[in-house]
Amino acid sequence: MALPVEHEALTKAFSGFGVNEKLFISELGRWHSEQRKVFRKRSEQFFIEDERGFERWDHHHVALLEREFLRFKTTLVLWTMHPWERDAGLANEALINGPQSYGVLIEIACTRSSEELLGARRAYHSLFDLSIEEDVASQVDGPERKLLVALVSAYRYEGPSVKEEVAKAEAKILYNAIKNGVSKKPSEDDEVVRILSTRSKLHLKTLFHYYKEISGHNIVVDFDVDMYLKQTVECMYAPQTYFSQVLDAALRDDADEAAKRALIRVIVTRAEVDMKEIKEVYCKLYGVSLSETIEAKAHGNFKDFLLALVEKGQSD
């Protein structure tokens, strides 16, 4: 007795994004006991049989299936949150998950406005009875702590004024810090941290222009020696490119769970901010629309909701 469609649907659920709820309801709900038995026998990757001949789900696959069902719920809950509460929760989760997730702290600190970051810090107080600054300072153990504390504490000027001579002088400071990177990581340099965590984004873009004149290189390339500094500069210099790269990594076939979580985070947090620009950059970088990629990779209600959020950033 063949069960190809249902078997394929379950297999995709374990390896992709979301589940095909409509198929599960219309097909699996009609199975009788003999069909369920055949399915278990033919799905050795999902079921195991113990020494007493008892068939049961492999616990690992149960956990995977539960996670796929939860993706839609997670997206929906994040979307309905106040943006400040959402960012505070994401920051706390990043600290709990450890160094592999510290990039989320940089993303929040560097791609939000000063008021938005201040709001997230206020929400963090209410949610966790601590400041985000003290949590970062106490939980991050490494040379990146200085940079991360400074970034999450920032309140940047957002006006149009830029002092060209100051930007040019600070470009030289960054250039020298990178040249001396063998003796001391740039992220441990107090002047580098001061510049990147206090200057306005417009000032930094001017500084990055002068940096290229001095060094002959794009600063993002030169900061390859320091992952956290590189992400800081990417988020300041070209946030839509940064977000496009995060989305691409999340939608690859070999994406790990941390990368897959980033798909939800980026689409939910940018849907009403700069999704139109992100979609344009994504298409230029990868030769396919973001919506087409999501359509091919995701499933069910999760896919439909992601597409609805992406389409909030319609091109003109």
First to last CA, the chain: 51
Q: Are residues 21 and 100 in the same domain?
A: no
Where a domain ends, among 76, 96, 123? 76
Q: Are residues 125 and 254 in the same domain?
A: no
Query: Residue 316: its pLDDT value, please?
Result: 41
Helices and strands (DSSP H and E) totals, the chain: 19, 2
CA distance 23 to 3: 13
Query: Residue 136: its pLDDT value, please?
Result: 98
Q: Which helix (H) or strand (E) holds 57?
A: strand 55-57
Q: Are residues 223 and 88 in the same domain?
A: yes
This prediction's pTM: 0.90
Where a domain ends, among 237, 271, 302? 237
Q: How far is CA 112 from CA 170, 234, 273, in A?
A: 23, 14, 10
Q: Are residues 59 and 179 in the same domain?
A: no
CA distance 83 to 165: 37
Q: Are residues 202 and 248 in the same domain?
A: no
CATH code assigned at 31: 1.10.220
Domain count, the chain: 3
Query: Residue 121: its pLDDT value, please?
Result: 98
Q: Are residues 94 and 30 in the same domain?
A: no
Q: How far is CA 108 from CA 80, 87, 90, 119, 220, in A?
A: 18, 7, 9, 11, 19
| pLDDT (tens digit per residue) in 219-234 | 988 888 789 999 999 9
Query: Residue 124: its pLDDT value, please?
Result: 98
CATH code assigned at 290: 1.10.220.10
b vs e for 132-146, b when ≥16 Cβ sit within 10 Å of the residue's Cβ? beebbeeebeeebbb
Query: Residue 181: its pLDDT value, please?
Result: 65
Structural domain including 304 reads 240-313
Where a domain ends, among 196, 219, 237? 237
The residue ranges of the chain whose pLDDT is under 50 are: 315-316
Give phi and psi for 147, each to the nearest 5.
-65, -45
